[in-house]
């Protein structure tokens, strides 16, 4: 098993508490009887950007309140995907029971109650709030309960399950790339619902802008004027749409170029190209500016990303 992927079985609630809080933050964990036999199992993988964990265990109630958040702020959000059994989730006045047909996206730095019985088996994707809000301020703005049994929700559920199952065949770099795509789908589900495409003109325009930038990210002259001209809108309107979505054309282009470059650094097809050549081919004007932006975005250097292939 790789150093960033582990599996543990627990025979006591106290041992479980320690690992649970390491993943999810300081919390108050209640179990029916701490003196009684208790078992739990946890399999996880962690990169510098994402954590993905499958867990099952005994009955418990987890409460993370303002005192815990002040003492142990995380700046993270968590997508909880039950595979079997059910759990009760409550945050910011929203509450509900989720099972294999539902998912919950929660802010770990807002008071949260999470309870389940012995039948729960679930997968959790933990991501930074910064990474989430850059894609969707709405997704980062509060708890979201999503369907997971049809449409896009079912695709998300299947993808997160497969990502966990294939962890031994993924490097940290390819794991992060796959999690990025998964997070894109989660934000799309939050923005437009899992049963239909986003409605309304502004949402349609935003989707068209993002699609165009994704397809033309490596064009050296790509900017808000080029995007607007290609799509038939004014640059001012494009700026307004992106501003409402919590981003700018410049930031959107930079992020897409970084994603392209990271994929190429992990690809055998680009192994004969230098990092500077990949940076240039991905739309960056200089190796130095690319390296600085890459490290700020992903927390590792381009050389480290290539070494993790």
Strands (E), the chain: 5-10, 28-30, 40-46, 50-57, 60-64, 76-84, 87-91, 94-98, 102-107, 112-116, 121-128, 144-147
Q: Which residues neighbour 240 within 8 Å (Cβ) at sequence distance 6 or greater?
A: none
Look at residue 23 and tell me if it is in a domain: yes
User: In the prediction, which pLDDT does 201 show?
Assistant: 64
Q: Does one domain contain both 241 and 118? A: no
Range of the domain at 217: 201-307
Per-residue confidence (pLDDT) for residue 87, from 0 to 100: 92
- State whether 116 and 227 are in the same domain: no
C-alpha–C-alpha distance, residues 233 and 238, integer Å: 7
Residues 164 and 51 in one domain: yes
- What Cα–Cα distance (Å) separates residue 95 from each residue in 29, 105, 140, 144, 147? 19, 12, 17, 10, 14
Same domain, 27 and 150: yes
Per-residue tens of pLDDT for the chain, all 309 residues: 445 678 888 888 888 888 888 888 999 999 888 777 778 888 989 888 899 999 998 889 999 999 999 999 999 999 999 999 999 999 988 888 899 889 999 999 999 999 999 899 999 999 998 888 878 878 887 788 888 888 888 999 999 999 999 988 888 888 999 999 999 899 888 876 433 334 456 777 888 898 899 999 999 899 999 999 898 888 888 998 888 888 899 999 999 999 999 999 988 899 999 999 999 999 999 999 999 999 998 888 999 988 755
**Domains of the chain: total:** 2
Q: Are residues 158 and 205 in the same domain?
A: no
Q: Is 189 a member of any domain? A: no
pTM of the model: 0.75
Token pair listed for 30: 């209640």
Assess contact for 212 and 161: CB atoms under 8 A.
Answer: no
Q: Are residues 167 and 205 in the same domain?
A: no
pLDDT at residue 1 in the model: 40
Same domain, 25 and 155: yes
State whether 118 and 264 are in the same domain. no
Rounded-to-integer distance, Cα 199 and Cα 188, Å: 12
Give the other-Cβ count within 10 Å of 51's Cβ.
19
With tokens 């999810």, the residue in question is: 24
Q: What is the pLDDT of residue 3?
A: 52
The CATH number assigned to the domain holding 49 equals 2.60.120.10
């Amino acid at each position: 098993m790789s150093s960033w992927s582990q599996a543990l079985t627990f025979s006591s609630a106290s041992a479980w508490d320690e690992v649970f809080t390491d993943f999810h933050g300081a919390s108050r964990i209640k179990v029916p009887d701490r003196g009684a036999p208790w078992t739990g199992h946890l399999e996880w993988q962690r990169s510098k950007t994402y954590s993905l964990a499958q867990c099952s265990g005994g009955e418990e109630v987890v409460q993370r309140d303002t005192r815990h958040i002040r003492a142990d702020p995380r700046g993270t959000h968590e997508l909880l995907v039950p595979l079997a059994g059910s759990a009760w989730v409550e945050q910011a006045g929203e509450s509900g029971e989720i099972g294999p047909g539902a998912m919950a996206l929660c802010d770990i730095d807002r008071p949260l109650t999470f309870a389940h019985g012995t039948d729960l088996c679930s997968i959790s994707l933990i991501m930074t709030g910064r990474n989430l809000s850059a894609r969707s301020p709405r997704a980062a703005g509060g708890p979201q309960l999503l369907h997971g049994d049809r449409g896009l929700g079912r695709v998300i559920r299947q993808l997160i399950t497969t990502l966990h199952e294939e962890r031994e065949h993924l490097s940290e770099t390819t794991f992060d790339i796959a999690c990025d795509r998964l997070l894109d789908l989660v934000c799309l589900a939050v923005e437009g619902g899992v049963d239909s495409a986003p409605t309304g003109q502004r949402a349609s325009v935003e989707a068209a802008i993002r699609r165009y930038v994704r397809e033309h990210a490596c064009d050296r002259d790509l900017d808000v004027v080029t995007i607007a001209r290609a799509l038939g809108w004014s640059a001012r309107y494009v700026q307004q749409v992106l501003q409402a979505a919590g981003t700018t054309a410049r930031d959107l282009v930079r992020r897409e170029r970084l994603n392209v470059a990271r994929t190429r650094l992990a690809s055998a097809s680009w192994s004969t190209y230098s990092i500077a050549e990949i940076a240039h081919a991905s739309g960056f004007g200089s190796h130095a500016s690319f390296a600085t932006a890459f490290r700020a975005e992903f927390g590792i250097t381009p050389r480290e990303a290539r070494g993790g292939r």
